[in-house]
Amino acid sequence: MKRTYMILLFPFCLLLLSFSLSIGAPAENPTAGAKEGFIGAETCKECHETQYGSYAESIHFKKSVKGPESQDACESCHGSGARHVEKGGGRGVDIFAFGKDVDPDAKSAKCLACHERTPGMDLWAMGVHRRNDVSCDSCHTLHAAGRQKPREPDVCFGCHKDIKIETNKRSHHPIREGKIKCSSCHSPHGSLSRYMVNADDSRELCFRCHADKRGPAVWEHPPVEEDCQSCHAVHGSSHMKLLNERIPQLCQNCHDWSRHPGTPYDKSASFTSRWDCLRCHPAIHGSNSPHAEGLRFVR
């Protein structure tokens, strides 16, 4: 008798549970069918032909788990539209919009309902962007034909004007030229590394594309082993090869060369050529010469 009671009660509990879950998060569960209060994209189309059209061109429309005929295509992001339509529509009338005054986390939550498991998104919550009130729609445009990945670097430049100036300098990483993107080096969704670089640290980042600089060299130049940025800027510089300063100043930050061969009165080197340190020390990142002169990065 007791067992039958339990067996009967169990499915009832499940039913209760799923009912309370669906109330708690009506618009958030993408795998459920047409939802309570959802009236479907065709109704929205009557008044929002433009947005319907742009959305229909998007990868979301084409690839959405629900497919093009989805009952809740619009409402998966905008929430239930029943009352909005009842009242004849309008701005601020019972519909979730991605306006500037809307809480950024509330906006992102709409997207995370489906994108929580997109690779890398687990770091969104602690990322610098989220903590500075940047939301998904700050970078992604959802009503646009084709793909919804942001146009880099333009989207980033919108907020990072200082970086834009850097990348316009004489020597720069080929970002403007489209050879690499901001996201080749950064994880805009968040990262555990400093400045959200997508490597353990900035030196490891450099090696991903400049593996020849990794070494180990027979004769090492200590700053190269420590931090590439002791000599190089990352985004851009007015000096050649992304150098922080011009040569010889760059070298003289660290080197007192009073004992250096080739003083102005020495025949072995003219005064002017002395300033061209690289002419005699070309192996500046370290030398693999079998000879002791490698010690001076002469070859």
Site for ligand HEC in 166-205 (CB under 6 A): 167, 171, 173-175, 179-180, 182-186, 188-189, 195-197, 202-203, 205
Q: Are 153 and 175 in contact, with CB atoms under 8 Å apart?
A: yes
Within 232-251, which residues bind ligand HEC (CB under 6 A)? 232, 234-235, 241-243, 247-248, 250-251
Q: Is 279 exposed, middle or buried (0-12, 13-18, 19+ CB in 10 A)?
A: exposed
Report in angstroms the alpha-carbon separations of 71 from 58, 74, 156, 162, 250: 17, 8, 34, 45, 64
Q: Of residues 217, 228, 287, 294, which one binds ligand HEC by CB under 6 A? A: 228
What does the per-residue mask of binding to ligand HEC show for 7-26, with x meaning CB under 6 A?
--------------------
Residue ranges in 269-298 that form contacts with ligand HEC under rule CB under 6 A? 269, 273-282, 284-285, 295-298
**Which tokens in the block code for residue 126?**
């602690």
Q: Is residue 33 classed exposed, middle or buried when 0-12, 13-18 and 19+ CB atoms within 10 A define those classes?
A: exposed
Q: Which is nearer to ligand HEC, 5 or 202 (CB)?
A: 202
- Candidate list 22, 29, 169, 223; residue touching ligand HEC; CB under 6 A: 223
Residue 35 in contact with ligand HEC, rule: CB under 6 A: no
Neighbours of 254 (CB within 10 A): 10
Tokens 């060299």, located at residue: 217
Among 22, 37, 213, 299, binds ligand HEC (CB under 6 A): 213
